[in-house]
Amino acid sequence: MRYTESKEKSAEILRLTLPLMAQHRAAYHPQTYTIWYEHTSGINPRLSNELEQRLARNESLSDDDIWRLHANFVIARDAEALERMHQRLHTLLSDTATAACSAGLEATQFNQTLQIHKSQLTQPLAMDLITDIVAELITDTERMRVVTQELSEQLERSTQEVHQLSEQLKHAEHQAKLDPLTGMLNRRGLEQRIQSFVQDAESLQGGVMLLADIDHFKMLNDTYGHLLGDKVIRSVAQVISESIKGRDIAARIGGEEFAVFLPDTSIEGATILAKRISAATASRTIRRAGTDRSIDRVTISVGVAASTATDTLETLLDRADKAMYAGKQAGRNRVTLYEPSLGALRAQAESPYPPA
C-alpha cells in the first residue's frame, strides 16, 4: 500500500504512535511501526478493531503477535486489493464484450432491414409507402447511431480504466516481489526471476548460487537494537547489489540471509566474487545513530554451490545452505564450497580477503 499522508500529518501520526509502541513488548522494527501507523491514522479498520479488542484485554503485544497482525491485516489486505483489481479487469472485459455483442446484434438487424428495403425499392411503389420506408430508415439509422456511440463511449471508458488498473497491477506486482527494507528482490521475486531464467536457458546448469548469512546477527540485534540491525542488513544488501552485474540475481530471502544466483559463471569466478563481498562487508564501518561510535566488525558466512541440469531453485539453495552452515561451524566469516565430486565441503581461508 502507498501511504498518502502529508509530512505534517505523518509527523502527527508519529507523535501519537510512539507512546503506543512503548507500551508493548514488541521491538521497534518496521512491522511494528506499520501496525501502529495504520491504526493511528485510521486507514485499516479491521486491524484497528483487532487491536482495540486486544487492548481491552490489556494484552502486551510480542514480536510474534506483531508478525501475525502484519501478515493477517497488512499483507493480506494488500493481497485482497490485488485480487479486487484482477476481478475488476475481468468485469470490464465482460461488460465490454456484452456491449459489443449487443451492438453486433443491432448491426445485424439493421443490415437485414436495409436488405428488405432495398428489395422493396426495386419495385414501383406508391408515394406514401416510400415515405414510410424512408421514415423507418431514418428511425433505424438513428437507433444504430445511438448504439454505435454508446459502444464507442463504453470502449473509451473501458480503455481508460483498463490502463489505470494495468498500471496499478504492475506497481502492486512489482512491489510484491521486493523486500521493503533493502529494495532487493524477496523470496517470491527470486523464485519468479529464476523461473523466467529457466524458461529462457532451459535449466540452471552453468550457474552458481551464493548463500550469505550475517554472522552473530541475533547477538548484534540484542546488543545494539533492531534499528541498527536493520542498518546492518541494508549495508550488506548494498555491498551485494554493488558487487553484481548483468544477469546476476540477488535477493534477501530471510531475516539476515541473502541469495545470489550467477548465471554462466565458473565455481572459481563465483568464489572470487564471494570473497570480495565478504571482504567488503567486513571492511565497512557501521555507526550507531546519533553517535560517532561504530559497532563491532560485521562479517558474513557464504556458501557456494554450482548448479546442474537437474537442479531446481530449492535443491540449489539447499546445497548452498549446507555449505554456508559448514562455514558457520568452522568458525564463521568464511566462504565455503559445496563440491559433490569430492563428496565433502571445502572451507576457504578466513575473511577479510585482499580486494581484487
Active-site amino acid positions:
256
First and final C-alpha spacing in the chain: 42
- Name which of 287, 276, 283 is nearest 297 in CA terms: 283
CA distance 295 to 185: 27
CA distance 346 to 230: 31
CA distance 350 to 354: 11
Q: In what order do the strands lie in the sheet with 300-306?
A: 249-252, 257-262, 208-214, 300-306, 334-339, 344-350
Q: Is 246 left (phi over 0), alpha (psi -120 to 50) or beta?
A: left
Chain centroid, CA 175 distance in Å: 4
Alpha helices per DSSP H over the chain: 7-22, 30-41, 45-56, 63-70, 76-121, 127-176, 187-201, 217-224, 226-243, 267-283, 313-329
Close Cβ partners of 176 (under 8 Å, ≥ 6 residues apart): 78, 82, 188, 189
CA distance 301 to 309: 26
CA distance 37 to 29: 12
Chain centroid, CA 284 distance in Å: 29
Residue 342's beta-bridge partner residues?
A: none
Q: Which residue has the cell 581461508?
A: 349
Can you say whether the dihedral through the CA atoms of 68, 74, 79, 81 is positive or negative? positive
